[in-house]
């Protein structure tokens, strides 16, 4: 993908090159140079287990960032930095120091954003595999003189509203059944019709 897929205010999964597998976090760029990163890390000086961190992160010129997978386009309705920070802080970090926990944690944050209606993830496990495959080939981009490689996820429909949940669908179907029963002897009014359509589209 070209750098036209890099837009300020959009949400990305970010990969950082390291020996065994990329370190992973979520970032919202505020410019070509900087963004706000949320991730978990093990800092032996302060803790022996994974801990949450939010920090300003260099993008252009960073020697470790290799991958940016776009999840939501800012022009489709941006997720704010504050919403990302609050959501990420509410997802517990693993109480261990096992290698590779950063991607599963990031996916849990994305699942919560989806549940909140801020992101439309079609397949969270597929998204995880997609990122692993994409980031695995980007080692050469982890240089100060190269911009991270960019791709757009096939598992996030960021131009559409979140999918209807089963509970919401049942609620809408119940409302529709009640409305249809009350109208058996009468023609539907404009107000009733609009309410049905609005319910299905939520």
The residue among 2, 3, 4, 5 whose CA lies nearest residue 152 is 5
**For residues 195 and 179, what is the distance between their CA atoms, to the nearest angstrom?**
10
Return the beta strands (E) in the chain as ranges.
Answer: 11-16, 23-29, 34-41, 51-58, 65-72, 149-152
- Please list the pLDDT of the chain residue by residue as tens digits (202 residues): 456 689 999 999 999 999 888 999 999 999 999 999 999 999 888 889 999 999 999 999 999 999 999 999 998 888 999 999 999 999 999 999 999 999 999 999 999 999 999 999 999 999 999 999 999 999 999 999 999 999 999 999 854 444 444 444 444 344 434 444 443 444 444 334 334 433 333 4
Q: What is the pLDDT of residue 27?
A: 99
Q: What is the pLDDT of residue 69?
A: 98
Tell me the C-alpha distance between 187 and 173, whole Å. Answer: 19
Q: Is 191 helix (H, G, I), strand (E, B) or coil?
A: helix
Residue 192: per-residue pLDDT: 43
Give the residue extent of every domain in the chain: 11-152
Phi-psi region of 198 (alpha: psi -120 to 50; beta: other; left: phi over 0): alpha
Buried b / exposed e along 37-66 (16+ C-beta atoms within 10 A): bbbbbbeeeeeeebebebeebebbebebbb
Dump pLDDT digits (tens) for 94-145: 999 999 999 999 999 999 999 999 999 999 999 999 999 999 999 999 999 9
């Amino acid at each position: 993908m070209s750098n036209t897929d890099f837009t300020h205010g959009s949400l990305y999964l970010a990969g950082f090159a390291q020996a065994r597998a990329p370190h992973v976090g979520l970032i919202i760029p505020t410019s070509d140079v900087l963004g706000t990163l949320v991730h978990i890390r093990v800092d032996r000086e302060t803790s022996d287990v994974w801990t949450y961190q939010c920090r300003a992160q260099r993008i252009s010129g960073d020697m470790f960032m290799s991958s940016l997978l776009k999840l939501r386009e800012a022009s489709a309705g941006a997720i704010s930095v504050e919403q990302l920070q609050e959501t990420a802080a509410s997802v517990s970090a693993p109480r261990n120091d096992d290698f590779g926990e950063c991607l599963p944690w990031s996916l849990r944050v994305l699942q919560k954003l989806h549940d909140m209606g801020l992101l439309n993830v079609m397949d969270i496990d597929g998204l995880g595999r997609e990122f692993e495959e994409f980031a695995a080939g980007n080692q050469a981009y982890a240089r100060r003189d190269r911009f991270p490689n960019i791709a757009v996820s096939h598992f996030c429909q960021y131009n559409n509203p979140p999918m209807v949940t089963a509970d919401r669908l049942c609620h809408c179907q119940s409302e529709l059944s009640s409305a249809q029963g009350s109208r058996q002897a009468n023609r539907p009014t404009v107000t009733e019709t609009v309410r049905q359509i609005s319910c299905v589209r939520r």
